[in-house]
């Protein structure tokens, strides 16, 4: 099956700085890569996603890049705000609808 | 529109007991998946149901079972509970069987004592 690795496990940034979280995957057949934000005591919330036929996607302060050759994808958050503090998960999907999740990155934005 | 709803939100069970968790998908969504999230880890796939049939199963013992009803709601059942079953159980729904975004509910926190 697919194996998704995520780094770093924890990340602290000053408010206004950028944050980058990286994930790698093992199955070259994976074709869809969502990112989820999970706040304490809540379920994961989709924040952005990218499909394998696209190299980059941006939504306001959030962007995702995908390198299919290297089998890695990254989440970029610019102009970070305290409300961005949460745990972020990357995921990959091959056939069917079974998502494989990374182990999460705990992001802290320091005011 | 209502999102994915799960019940109960929290529950405490004793080892050896049985638990049933319930999920209602987003209106119009026909696929429901169940995930287990242990503290500090990412969600782990348990089951996917689409059109009332099991379409995928993760690496979980037979103590775990699920079903989907004609209205696309779903139940996850766990028998003979172990301490290690303590986790957040997440239900996710999507419109189609595969290749679609999944949307999570808030989860059911299960504590086994």
Tell how strand B64-68 and strand B19-24 pair up.
Answer: unpaired
pLDDT exceeds 80 at position B55: yes
Residue B68 pLDDT: 97
pLDDT of residue A86: 98
pLDDT for A5 equals 97
Backbone angles phi, psi at B83, to 5 degrees: -55, -35
Please check whether residue A78 touches B, CB under 8 A.
no
Lowest mean pLDDT among A76-80, B26-30, B80-84: B26-30
Cα dist from B76 to B48, B70, B82, B107, B110, whole Å: 11, 15, 16, 12, 12
pLDDT at A98: 82
- By the 8 A CB rule, do A80 and A16 touch? yes
- pLDDT exceeds cutoff 80 at B54: yes
pLDDT at residue B1, rounded to an integer: 60
| Nearest chain A residue (CA) to B38 | A103
**Positions of chain A with pLDDT under 70:** 96
For B88-103, what is the mean pLDDT?
87
Averaged pLDDT, B63-75: 97
- Give the SS3 label for residue A53: coil
pLDDT of residue B29: 92
CA distances from A78 to A15, A59, A110 (A): 10, 11, 14
Q: How far apart are CA B59 and CA B72, in angstroms?
A: 23
Using alpha carbons, select from B50, B42, B8 the residue that is nearest to residue B25.
B50
Q: What is the pLDDT of residue B87?
A: 97
The per-residue pLDDT for B101 is 87
Interface residue A66 vs chain B (CB under 8 A): no
Residue A10, chain B, CB below 8 Å: the answer is no
User: Chain-wide mean pLDDT for chain B?
Assistant: 94
**Best residue in B42, B56, B74 for a mutation probing chain A (most A CBs within 10 Å):** B42
Mean pLDDT to the nearest integer, B12-38: 96
| pLDDT > 90 fraction of chain B, expressed in percent and rounded | 86
Nearest CA in chain A to B42: A103
Chain B residues with CB under 8 Å of A100 CB are 45
Q: Which whole number is the average pLDDT over B10-16?
A: 98
Question: Is the CB of A31 less than 8 angstroms away from the CB of B44?
Answer: no
């Amino acid at each position: 099956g697919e194996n998704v690795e995520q780094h770093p496990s924890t990340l602290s940034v000053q408010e206004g700085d950028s944050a980058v979280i990286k994930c790698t995957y093992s199955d070259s057949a994976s074709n869809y890569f969502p990112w989820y934000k999970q706040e304490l005591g809540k379920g994961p919330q989709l924040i952005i996603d990218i499909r394998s036929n696209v190299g980059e996607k941006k939504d306001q302060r959030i962007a995702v890049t995908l390198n299919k050759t290297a089998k890695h994808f990254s989440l970029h958050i610019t102009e970070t705000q305290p409300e961005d503090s949460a745990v972020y998960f990357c995921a990959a999907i091959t056939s069917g609808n079974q998502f494989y999740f990374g182990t999460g990155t705990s992001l802290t934005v320091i005011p | 529109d209502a999102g994915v709803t799960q019940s109960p939100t929290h529950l405490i069970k004793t080892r050896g007991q049985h638990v049933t968790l319930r999920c209602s998908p987003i209106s119009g969504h026909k696929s429901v998946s169940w995930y287990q999230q242990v503290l500090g880890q990412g969600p782990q796939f348990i089951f996917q149901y689409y059109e009332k049939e099991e379409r995928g199963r993760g690496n979980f013992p037979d103590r775990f079972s699920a079903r989907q009803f004609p209205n696309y709601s779903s139940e996850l059942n766990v028998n003979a509970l172990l301490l290690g079953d303590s986790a957040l159980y997440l239900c996710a729904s999507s419109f189609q069987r595969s290749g679609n975004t999944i949307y999570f509910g808030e989860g059911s926190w299960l504590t086994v004592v």
